[in-house]
Chain A
Amino acid sequence: MVTCLMSLNKYVWLFAPSLIILLIVGLIPFFPLVNYSVQTPYREESLFVGLEHFKKIYQDARFINALQRNLMYSMIVLLIEIPLGLGLAYYFHRPGKLNSIISACIILPALFPYISIGLLWRLMASTYGPIGQLLSNFGISYNIAVNATQAFGTLIIMDVWHWTSLVFLVYSAAFAGMDPNPILCARTEGASESQIFRYIQLPQLIFPSIFIILLRLIDSLKIFDEVYVLTSGGPGFSTEFVSQYIRNVALEQWNFGYGSALSLVYLFVIICLCVSIMNILTKGKGVLQ
């Protein structure tokens, strides 16, 4: 232990610069956040209000609704994307010209800016866009500015389009990295494809699965850009998620005190959820190893 620390001393200046920058942008911001969360900043002076803001959050129906909607959204997209990405990766991970074209197409959306994805889908979902045209052939009138269910459904389709790519990427890398010998061996012994999947491939997919579930959970809880562009939380508040509500409070109503309190609660919920799910999935070992 002592020797470890001594050798670390020698290297301190190698990582000190990045540590300092990270402290400035990643840790120090939380001091003003905590500071503001117990005050009502108003013009020049600030009023100390104690835990009033946090009490208000309990009764804030709009926040509770946004949080519930956010959790439901995360659950739905994870339930669709994980099996879909796994299935696609299972069928298209083998090398080959056709498969590489298909996987390039599937991977592409993950590399694009969120806001551009939102814009792409807003074009698709606009009143005269292709989705509306297609659905009007079946006699369904499609307008996400009016119909809340359609707006929510479109968001889910957009998220699946955007992020199945990442699930696919992770699983196809996992399939590609598997040792082919046990599989060949099992096949010559007469094992069926489903048995090979169940007993040889599936156990090797556990770590990638944990990783991708956590990654998607974090990202889907943070969702903002695409929703803002596609529906702006509307119609009404029917597609408003937590990020957007906080942005509204902080950057549009300029209510820094309440916004800070909301931000802290939001961050707390995300970290608790992720840590507990990580601990459940890895039985307390963590993904860092």
Chain B
Amino acid sequence: MKSRRKILTNILRGIVAVAIVFSFAFPIYFTINVSLSSKTYISIGSLLPDLYLGNWKDLLTLERWANAIRNSLIISAACVLVGLILAIPAGYVFARIRFGGDRHFFFWLLTNRMAPPVVLSIPYLLMFRSMGIWDTQYGTVLAFMVFNIPIAIWLIASFVVTIPREIDYAAFLDGYSIWRYFRRILLPVIAPGIAVTAFFIWMYSWNEMFLASVVTSARSKTLTAELLTTVGRLGWGIEYGVASAGAVVTLIPGLALLYWARKYLIRGFTFGRL
């Protein structure tokens, strides 16, 4: 009797599990399906693709799309590099040294996350135009620093806090300069933390759309901004094929993050506070 009930609950659990996996995976499947379908298949809403590769060929060869993918790659990589160089020393300071008003400073960092991108759109447009960096990759990287630096500082600080202070004292007693301390001790010890931070800077920069669409127009448009243009320009129900192929490309970093940095995902989303 008991074992029968157990089998029944197991079956029920299985059904629930399948339903959950299905409901989360289906929209992703459907997008991949659309990207591999020809126009006629898309227009009838077929659930199976006819393995038409034209959309992918368009995505990778049309200048507009190839350029957007290239820009996204370059800008995200530059954000990772610049963000880490700026945030590692700053994160170290915030993890180690208490100073007057540090909590206010932390709160200010948080408000940078609260500010909707639309609020920044008017000033960025004006500032970047007058500085001559509008629609350049430099400008886009600079704009993305508004959310990358806070998250990177918080993450690095959350990793530095876990290192015992005694190591610092020992190093400085041995006459290490701060440079040597960084190179020989801090960087190797928090290497996983740096990798995680890099992952998250990459993901936030790669995913960002609104600021990218404001500070770029053609030359340095990112893939997400290009998707916005496509969806905005073309009406309801047309040209979905290449747009969904583009969307599938935008999903790749997220999948990579889930695969390699799964243990640390939670930190990246909660500013290292959990």
Contact = CB atoms under 8 A, between A and B. Distances in A.
Contacts of B117: 222, 224, 243
B209 interface: yes
Contacts of A109: 24
Contacts, number: 251
Interface in A29-63: 29-33, 36
A108 B127 contact: no
A122 B231 contact: yes
Contacts of A264: 119
A170 B274 contact: yes
A82 interface: no
A215 B27 contact: no
Given A113-B250, A169-B265, A211-B270, A161 B93 contact: no
A32 B126 contact: yes
A200 interface: no
Given A4-B100, A25-B143, A218 B113 contact: yes
A259 B44 contact: no
Interface in B48-74: none
A108 B265 contact: no
B122 A32 contact: yes
Contacts of B122: 32-33, 36, 250, 256, 259-260, 263
Chain B interface bracket (under 10, 10 to 19, 20 to 34, 35 or more):
35 or more
B209 A108 contact: no
A90 interface: no
Interface of A: 1, 4-5, 7-8, 11, 14-15, 17-19, 21-22, 24-26, 28-33, 36, 88, 98, 101-102, 104-116, 118-124, 126-130, 132-133, 145, 161, 165-166, 169-170, 173-174, 207-208, 211, 215, 218, 221-222, 224-225, 228-229, 232, 242-243, 246-247, 250-251, 256, 259-260, 263-264, 266-267, 270-271, 274, 286-288
- Nearest 6 A/B pairs, CB to CB: A111-B254, A128-B45, A29-B123, A15-B90, A14-B89, A113-B207
9 contacts: A11-B93, A19-B90, A32-B123, A116-B227, A124-B27, A211-B274, A225-B228, A247-B118, A270-B116
Given A111-B257, A173-B266, A267-B119, 17 more contacts: A8-B93, A8-B99, A14-B178, A17-B86, A29-B124, A36-B122, A112-B207, A113-B208, A120-B30, A126-B240, A132-B45, A133-B45, A215-B270, A224-B210, A232-B232, A242-B116, A288-B106
Interface of B: 17, 20-21, 23-28, 30-31, 34, 43-45, 47, 86-87, 89-90, 92-94, 97-100, 103, 106-127, 142-143, 145-146, 149-150, 153, 178, 203, 206-210, 214, 224, 227-228, 231-232, 236-237, 240, 243-244, 247, 250-251, 253-255, 257-258, 262, 265-266, 269-270, 273-274
